[in-house]
Amino acid sequence: MSGRRKHKRKGASAAKGKRPARLKRKAREAPLLQRVVLRVQGLFRSGKRKHRPQRREVSPLRSGFQYVWGPVKRHRLIVRSCLIFAASISLGIFLYSRLVDSGALDGFQGFVASATGFFLNMFGGGVTVDGNSVSSSAFSMNIVTECTAIVPMIILLSAILAYPSPIRYKAIGIPLGLVALFVLNLIRTFSLFHIGSAFPSFLDTAHFLVWQSVMILSALIFWILWVEKLVHAHAR
């Protein structure tokens, strides 16, 4: 009798030891089984449709705003640079037209004419400068506002201001770029004077087609060099 009771007590204690593990396993499996059962009942339930929450109606104006604002928000840095560039170009052209109408650029035109005459005489040009006019015995040329490279300077200035970079890099790039374009413009007026003296029929093509394109392209090239050699080089 004592042996059987001990055996029963051992079996009872073993069963008690296994119960918590079974209960834990059932507790873990119960949510999964319930989900499976509910899904099967929903699939085979006849005459009843699964309830779905109603979609909230969005006004066309709001959906259109979200459609436009989404890409703008993702590319806000590019959008900001484009806006700064457009605003700088617009402001620069507006001020340029005002200065031309008021005659405030006459002094700068005279300075360009004097510098052009100086370099022409250095190479034996034998020219005289009178106000905005540079003339010799064979040819005469007037320096107008379009010959001062102000428009390419405005483009370069706007591009540097619009590009996202520290102010110290802008402070270096802007004066260097303006000086470089001014020197290139002197080369332009120097060459145009010689072209007008030797090949007058080619003067308009060289002036309006070739050199105008070269000046704009030079502003773009200088901006690219500024970005690559100064801004990105120090960022690395």
Instruction: Tell me the per-residue pLDDT of 189-209, one tens digit each, with 9 for 90 and over.
Output: 999 999 999 999 999 999 989
pLDDT tops 70 at residue 160 = yes
| Lowest mean pLDDT across 56-70, 125-139, 177-191, 219-233 | 56-70
Assign residue 148 a region: left if phi > 0, alpha if psi is -120 to 50, beta otherwise? alpha
Phi, psi for 143 (deg, rounded to 5):
-90, 110
DSSP 165-179: --HHHHHHHHHHHHH
Contact yes or no for 222/156 (Cβ under 8 A): yes
For residue 69, the model assigns a pLDDT of 63
The helix/strand/coil state of 131 is: coil
Instruction: Tell me the per-residue pLDDT of 80-99, one tens digit each, with 9 for 90 and over.
Output: 899 999 999 999 999 999 99
Give the domain ranges of the chain. 74-235
Average pLDDT for the chain: 80
For residue 195, the model assigns a pLDDT of 94
Distance (Å, rounded) from C-alpha 94 to C-alpha 124?
A: 40
Overall average pLDDT of the 149-163 stretch: 95
For residue 6, the model assigns a pLDDT of 46
pLDDT tops 50 at residue 48 = no
- Report which of 179, 174, 9, 189 is spatially closest to residue 115, judged by C-alpha positions: 189
More confident of the two residues 160 and 44: 160
Overall average pLDDT of the 171-187 stretch: 96
Instruction: Tell me the per-residue pLDDT of 117-130, one tens digit each, with 9 for 90 and over.
Output: 999 999 988 899 99
Query: What are the C-alpha distances in Å from 172 to residues 34, 129, 167, 221, 225?
Result: 70, 34, 9, 16, 13
Distance (Å, rounded) from C-alpha 122 to C-alpha 120?
A: 5
Distance (Å, rounded) from C-alpha 100 to C-alpha 114?
A: 19
Query: What are the C-alpha distances in Å from 202 to residues 17, 139, 199, 209?
Result: 107, 14, 6, 10
Q: What angle do CA 92, 104, 133 make, to 5 degrees?
A: 110
pLDDT tops 50 at residue 46 = no
Here the tokens at position 122 are 């250095």
- Report which of 170, 178, 149 is spatially closest to residue 226, judged by C-alpha positions: 170
pTM equals: 0.69
Task: Work out the burial of residue 201: count CB atoms within 10 Å of its CB; fewer than 13 is exposed, 13-18 middle, 19 or more buried.
Answer: exposed
Reduced DSSP (H G I as helix, E B as strand, rest coil) percent helix, strand, coil of the chain, to 5: 80, 5, 15
Across the chain, the runs of DSSP E, i.e. the strands, are 128-130, 133-135, 140-142
